[in-house]
Amino acid sequence: MLILILLPAAFLLPSGAVAGEIIGGQEAQPHFRPYMAYLKIQREEKKRVCGGFLVSKNFVLTAAHCKGDNITVILGAHDITKQEQSRQVIRVRRAYPHQDYDNKPHNNDIMLLKLEHNAHLNEYVSPIPLPMAHQQMRPGTVCSVAGWGRTSAHNNLSSDTLRDPDLIYHDYNPSTMMCVGDPEMGRSSFKGDSGGPLVCQQTAQGIFSWGSEEGTPPAVYTRVSTFILWIQKTMRMLQP
């Protein structure tokens, strides 16, 4: 795994930022992260991909900027190019981005996806716990990220297999954002990894939101603990 350093709040991102791939990652252990979701998104005539993560048998959490007209979720995948027996393909019945999402600068970049039917939970597909409301992580906590996004800022190649680095956490914005990544180590989430989880102490503490257009760290993550009450309320509202 790769080690990344999350920077203090005083650190400023380079000018020019893009909505977020794993730069400098290595292939993850197959099915070690059974909560990971691969999102195939169509918006008008354009297609894109994002990451996400299963938080219950019929809900996936991702970034609000991953919204589209049609979204298909693939669960239980490792190599996204192969028809693995472990994978489950489920269409999204309804996408519910946060009502206060602001595209610039990606404030409240969080979205719940209600699946058309429940996922079959097993060793390859299972939800990840969420943090307690307003939980704060200690600086220096070791965290990890994973995704199928681009592996270099110098080409348009994405990764067929799930990749992951480890991260160390420092505060960036105490209300809705976290700033993650050490510029000297050159490892970061990047394009195509948007919506993927920042996992600390086996809970999903962040959602990859955006970073520099060169793919250099740090990157910015939505702070999940700020939105726990919104997540709970929205899931209750969307249940049949």
Residue 194 among the catalytic residues: yes
Rounded to 5 degrees, φ, ψ at 228 are: -60, -45
- The C-alpha atoms of residue 23 and residue 193 are separated, in whole angstroms, by 10
> Choosing from 98, 106, 109, 170, which is the catalytic residue?
109
Secondary structure (DSSP) of 178-189: EEE--TTTT-B-
Number of Cβ atoms within 10 Å of the Cβ of 135: 16
Cα distance from N-terminal residue to C-terminal residue, the chain: 41
> Choosing from 189, 194, 212, 225, which is the catalytic residue?
194
- The C-alpha atoms of residue 118 and residue 88 are separated, in whole angstroms, by 10
Closest among 108, 69, 65 to 91, alpha carbons compared: 69
Residue 109 among the catalytic residues: yes
Q: Locate tokens 């929205």: which residue? A: 234
- The C-alpha atoms of residue 125 and residue 139 are separated, in whole angstroms, by 30
Residues 6+ apart with CB under 8 A from 211: 13, 17, 18, 20, 181, 188, 189, 190, 217, 218, 219, 220
Residue 117 among the catalytic residues: no
Category of 72 on φ-ψ map: left (φ > 0), alpha (ψ -120 to 50) or beta: beta
- The token pair that represents 220 in the structure block: 């910015």
Residues catalogued as catalytic:
65, 109, 194
